[in-house]
Homo-oligomer: A and B are copies of this chain.
Amino acid sequence: MVRTAFSLNEVLSTTFTMSVAGNDNGILKLLEDLLRILKEENIFDPNAPVVNFRHPTDLKELFSFKLSQDGSTPEAMDTVIRKIIKYSVKTFSPNFHNQLFAGVDKYGMVGAWLTEILNTSQYTYEVGPVFTLIEQEIINECLKLVGYPLMPDADGIFCPGGSISNMYAMVMARYKALPDIKKKGASTFPALACFTSEESHYSIMKAAHWLGIGTDQVYKIKTDESGKMIPAELRNAIQEAKSNNKLPFFVNATCGTTVLGAIDPLHEISRICKDESLWMHVDACLGGTLLLCNTYRERLTGIELSDSISWNPHKMLGVPLQCSVFLVKGKKALHETNCAGAKYLFQQDKFYDVSYDTGDKSVQCGRKVDAMKFWLMWKAYGSIGLDISVQIAMSAAEYFKDRIKFIDGFRLVLPDFECNTICFWYIPSSMRGQEETQEWWDELSRITTSIKEKMVLDGTLMIGYTPLPNKNLVNFFRMVVTCHPPPSHTDMDYTIKLFQKYGEKY
C-alpha cells in the first residue's frame, strides 16, 4: 500500500488533525450521541426481530466494511453505527435462546461501560486499586458460595472465558503432581493422563493440546443416558491409563454439560479422585449459577470437595461477556504455579503493600477488569436478588418443559433437565405415528435445520440445534433459558407456538 508521508506541520494544520488530536474533549459528547442512537433505534424493543439476518456476501453489499486511507465524516460514522446495530444479533431479545449466554443485567451493563471508560488493567493495585479490592471481595463471595475456604486458604482469578479457566485448572493440577515440569518441560516425564466425560466441553481437548499433554491422553469417559459421567467407567479408565504407563493427574467433572446440561456425580468422582490422589476440577461454567439459588443449589452438592472450579457468570446469570471466574484451594497455590517475578511490574520496593498485586498469579500480563460488572450486580441486588433472578429463569424453563411434554409434536430428549437447557425434537404432523427408521430420523434432522433457518430468516426466534453422536442422536433443538431478559411464561408460550407454526410446514 502506497501512502504519503506527512510532515508534522502539514498534519497539524489540517482541521482533520484537530479532531483527532483534541478528541478527548469530545468523548462524552460522542458517548451521548451513542446513547441517543441506541434510543432512536429502540434497541431494547422486545417485539423487534431478534436478527435481520443477511448472508455474508449480502451483508458485505449492505455495509461498507472496507477501511481505507481516508477517514469518515461524523455523519458517515453515525450511519455506520446504526448499521452495526441493525445487522447485529439482538442477544437481549426475549427470543434469543441460541447460546448459553443471552442478554445482560442493567447493573452489569453499567459496570461494563464504567470498566471501559476507566480503561485499566487488573495486574497491580497501583493502576487498579478499586478493582483489586472488588475482585478480592467477589472472589471471597464465590469461595463462600462453592463451600471452599476463604482467602488466603483458597484463591481465585477472573479469566477471559471458561476455556482459559479450565486451562488454569490443568496447569495447576500438573504443577502439583510434577512441580519440576514448570522448569524442565514435559519431555522428561511420563505421559500424563486426564479424564473427562464424553459430554464435557471441548476446551479440555484444546487445553490438552496447548499444554503439551496431548489429546490422545484425554480419556473420554462414557456417560449414562442423561449425560452424566459413569463413575465405574472413570475407575476403569484410570486403571487402563496406568497399565499403559501413563500418569493420571486430573479429572474434570462437569456441572452443566454444554448440550444436555447434565451434572456429573460429584461425590462419587471425588471419592475416586481421593482414592487415586488425582486433582478434581469442576467445570461449572454453565451450572455454577445454580449455586446462587437455594432452590437449586443442592444439585451441585459435592462441588466443595473439588480442588478447583470454573464458573462463567456471563452465561446464565447475564453478566456482560466476558466474566469467568476460576477458584482454587490452597494457600498461594495460584501464585506459586504461575509466578515469573517480572521486576518491571511487580517491584518489591513499591511504597504500598505489594501483596495486593495480583498480576503474577495470572498467565496473562495485562488483564481486563471483568470483576466489577459482576460485583456491581451483586451489590445492587444482594445474594437474595441474584437468587430470585435464577429462580425466575429456572421456573420459566420448568414451565417450558412441562408444557411441551404434553403437546403433540414435541419430544423431549431427556424427561428432565438439571441446568437451564431443554433439548427436544419437533416432529411435524406429517411425520408422526410412523415407523422411526434411520431414514425417518435423517429426515427429522434435515427438518430441524430447516426450521432453524426459517426462524432466523424471519427474525422470529434464535435457538440452537445439535446432534449428539455419542448417544447416536440426530439434530435436536436446545432451548436455553437465561436470567436476562427475565423470561416470562408468555415468552415460553411464544416459543412453543412458533414451533407449531414453522413445524407444520413439512
Q: Specify which chain B residues have a CB less than 8 angstroms from the CB of A314 in the assembled complex.
A: 366
Flag if A202 contacts B342 (CB, 8 Å): yes
Select the stretch in A187-195, A272-280, A405-413 that faces chain B. Answer: A187-195
In angstroms, Cα B51 to Cα A120, docked, is 13
Select the stretch in A13-21, A235-243, A326-334, A493-501 that faces chain B. Answer: A13-21
- How far in angstroms is the closest Cβ of chain B from A119? 5
Number of chain copies forming the complex: 2
- Residues of A273-309 at the interface with B, using a CB-CB cut-off of 8 Å, are 294-295
B8, B113, B145: the one within 8 Å of A34 (CB): B113
Per-position contact with B for A445-467: 1 when CB-CB < 8 Å, else 0?
11001101100100000101111
Cβ of A270 < 8 Å from any Cβ of B?
no
- Residues of A379-410 at the interface with B, using a CB-CB cut-off of 8 Å, are 379-385, 387-389, 391-392, 395
In angstroms, Cα B312 to Cα A217, docked, is 34
**A187-B190, A210-B363, A453-B351 given as contacts; is B258 within 8 A of A114 (CB)?**
no
Flag if A368 contacts B216 (CB, 8 Å): no
Flag if B162 contacts A366 (CB, 8 Å): yes
Per-position contact with B for A336-367: 1 when CB-CB < 8 Å, else 0?
00101111110101111100100000011111
Cβ of A80 < 8 Å from any Cβ of B?
yes
In angstroms, Cα B94 to Cα A21, docked, is 13
In angstroms, Cα B465 to Cα A120, docked, is 18
Flag if B340 contacts A185 (CB, 8 Å): no
Cβ of A320 < 8 Å from any Cβ of B?
yes
Name the CB-closest residue of B to A145.
B1
Flag if A56 contacts B352 (CB, 8 Å): yes
B32, B126, B137, B391: the one within 8 Å of A67 (CB): B137
Flag if A182 contacts B214 (CB, 8 Å): yes
Per-position contact with B for A79-90: 1 when CB-CB < 8 Å, else 0?
011011101110
Q: Specify which chain B residues have a CB less than 8 angstroms from the CB of A216 in the assembled complex.
A: 183-185
Q: Specify which chain B residues have a CB less than 8 angstroms from the CB of A207 in the assembled complex.
A: 363
In angstroms, Cα B57 to Cα A129, docked, is 11
Flag if B378 contacts A163 (CB, 8 Å): no
Q: Specify which chain B residues have a CB less than 8 angstroms from the CB of A486 in the assembled complex.
A: 20-24
In angstroms, Cα B468 to Cα A342, docked, is 11
Which of A23, A105, A132, A478 counts the most B-chain CB atoms under 10 A from its CB?
Answer: A23
Flag if A384 contacts B320 (CB, 8 Å): no
By size class, the interface of chain A is 35 or more
B119, B181, B372: the one within 8 Å of A321 (CB): B119
Flag if B187 contacts A186 (CB, 8 Å): yes
Q: Specify which chain B residues have a CB less than 8 angstroms from the CB of A187 in the assembled complex.
A: 186-187, 189-192, 214
Per-position contact with B for A136-168: 1 when CB-CB < 8 Å, else 0?
111001001100000000000000111110010
Q: Specify which chain B residues have a CB less than 8 angstroms from the CB of A8 in the assembled complex.
A: 391-392, 395
Flag if B56 contacts A81 (CB, 8 Å): no
Cβ of A201 < 8 Å from any Cβ of B?
yes
- How far in angstroms is the closest Cβ of chain B from A394? 9
- How far in angstroms is the closest Cβ of chain B from A474? 10
Q: Specify which chain B residues have a CB less than 8 angstroms from the CB of A133 in the assembled complex.
A: 56, 59-60, 63, 65
B113, B128, B191: the one within 8 Å of A116 (CB): B113
Q: Specify which chain B residues have a CB less than 8 angstroms from the CB of A71 in the assembled complex.
A: 379-382, 384-385
Flag if B34 contacts A38 (CB, 8 Å): no
- How far in angstroms is the closest Cβ of chain B from A242? 15
Give 18 pairs: A residue, B residue, CB < 8 Å, sorted on A. Answer: A1-B383, A3-B387, A21-B392, A24-B92, A26-B106, A35-B35, A67-B141, A67-B383, A88-B130, A104-B116, A113-B116, A164-B164, A185-B191, A186-B186, A210-B211, A343-B466, A349-B446, A351-B449
Given known contacts A53-B129, A163-B363, A182-B214, what 15 new A-B pairs fall within 8 Å (CB)?
Answer: A1-B383, A20-B392, A28-B43, A30-B106, A55-B352, A69-B384, A71-B382, A88-B129, A89-B118, A109-B117, A160-B164, A185-B191, A211-B211, A344-B478, A347-B465
